Structure 1
Amino acid sequence: MTVDQAGRVRRRRVFYVPGFDPFPPRRYRELYRREGVRQAEISGYRLALAPLSGEAGYGWRVDTSIGGEETHAQVTVLVWADLVQESMRGGVLTAYWLMLRTLWIFWSTGALVAMVRLRPGPMLSGLYPVAVLMVQALLAVLLGWGAGWLALLLSGSAALAVLAGLAMAYGVLALAQKIDNRLYAYYLLYDFAHTARHYGANPPALEERLAGFVAQIREALTQDWDEVLIVGHSSGAALAVSATADVLRAGLPPGAPPLALLTLGQAIPMQSFLPRADRLRSDLRALAAHHDLFWLDVSAPGDGACFGLSDPVAVSGVAPPDQRWPLVISAAFSQSLKPETWKRLRRRFMRLHIQYLSAFDAPRDYDYFQITAGPRTLAARYQGRKPSPSRDARPLSPHTSMAPR
Structure 2
Amino acid sequence: MTDTPGQEVHRRRVMYIPGYDPVPPRKYRERYRREAAAQAAISGYDIALGPKQTSGKFGWHVSAEMEGAAVETDIEVMYWSDIVRDSMSHGILATYGQLFRTAWIYIWSGALFRLMTLRKGPVIAALYPVVFLLGQLLAALAVGVAVAFVVEWMGHRLLGIPLSFFGLALGLVMVWAVLDLFRRQDGRFLAYYLMHDYAFSARYGGAYPPEQEDRMREAADQIAAALQADVDEVLIVGHSSGAYIAVSILSDLIRAGRVPADGPRLALLTLGQVVPMVSFLPKAGRLRADLAFLSSRDEITWVDVTAPGDGCAFALCDPVSVTGVAPEGKRWPLVISAAFTQTLSPERWKALRWRLFELHFQYLNAFDQPGDYDYFRITAGPLSLQSRFADRAPSKSRIERPVNRYTSMAA
TM-score (norm 1): 0.97
Q: Distance in 1 between matches of 2:90 and 2:83?
A: 14
Q: Distance in 1 between matches of 2:274 and 2:3?
A: 32
Q: Are residue 204 (structure 1) and residue 210 (structure 2) matched?
A: yes
Question: Partner residue of 1:298?
Answer: 305
Residues 207, 4 of structure 1: alpha-carbon distance in 2 compared, 3 angstrom cutoff: farther
- Does the CA-based 8 Å contact 2:56-2:222 persist in structure 1? no
Match of 2:159 in 1: none
1:138-157 deviations in whole A, cap 9, x for unaligned?
A: 11011112222333345652
Counterpart in the other structure of 1:221: 227
Q: Is the 8 A contact 2:304 2:336 kept in 1?
A: yes
8 A contact 1:3–1:10 mirrored in 2: no
1:256-300 per-residue CA deviation (whole Å, 9 max, x = no partner) reads 100000000000000000111011011101111101110000000
Q: Contact 2:4 / 2:382 at 8 angstroms: preserved in 1?
A: no
RMSD: 1.5
CA 1:223–1:172: 2 relative to 1, 3 Å: same
1:101 equivalent in structure 2? 101
CA distance in 1, matches of 2:148, 2:57: 52
User: Alignment partner for residue 281 of structure 1, among 284, 288, 291?
Assistant: 288
Q: Aligned-pair distance for 1:254?
A: 4.9
Question: What CA distance in whole angstroms lies between the structure 2 residues aligned with 1:342 and 1:130?
Answer: 28
Of 256, 267, 272, 1:265 maps to 272
Do the aligned partners of 1:261 and 1:293 also contact (CA within 8 Å) in 2?
yes
How far apart are the structure 2 equivalents of 1:128 and 1:313?
Answer: 26
1:34 counterpart residue number: 34
Q: Please tell me whether the aligned partners of residues 3 and 226 of structure 1 are also in contact (alpha carbons under 8 angstroms).
A: no
Gaps of 5+ in 1: none
Which 10-residue stretch deviates more, 117-126 or 244-253? 244-253
- How far off is 1:301 after superposition? 0.8
Q: Map 1:83-162; keep pairs closer than 5 Å.
A: 83-154=83-154, 156-162=162-168
Report the equivalent of 1:167: 173
The alpha-carbon distance between structure 1 residues 356 and 375, as it changes in their structure 2 partners (threshold 3 A), is: same
Q: CA 1:332 to 1:5, structure 2 compared with 1: closer, same or farther past 3 Å?
A: closer
Q: Which amino acid aligns with 1:91?
A: G
Distance 1:344 1:328 in 2: 27
Larger C-alpha radius of gyration, 1 or 2? 2
CA shift, 1:160, in A, is: 1.6
* 1:320 partnered with 2:331: no
Alignment-mate amino acid for residue 107 of structure 2 = W
User: Matches of residues 223-242 of structure 1 in structure 2 within 5 Å?
Assistant: 223-242=229-248
Q: Displacement of 1:52 after TM fit?
A: 1.8
In the superposition, relative to structure 1, how do residues 334 and 92 fare at CA in structure 2: closer, same or farther (>3 Å)? same
Question: In the TM superposition, what whole-angstrom CA distance separates every residue of 1:75-100 from its partner, at most 9, and x where no partner exists?
Answer: 00001111111211211111111111
For 1:306 and 1:86, the matched residues in 2 are separated by: 24
Residue 189 of structure 1 and its aligned partner are, at CA, apart by 1.1
Q: Match of 2:45?
A: 45
Q: How far apart, in 2, do the equivalents of 1:54 and 1:214 lie? A: 15
Q: How many residues end up aligned between the 2 structures?
A: 403
Map of 1:192 onto structure 2: 198
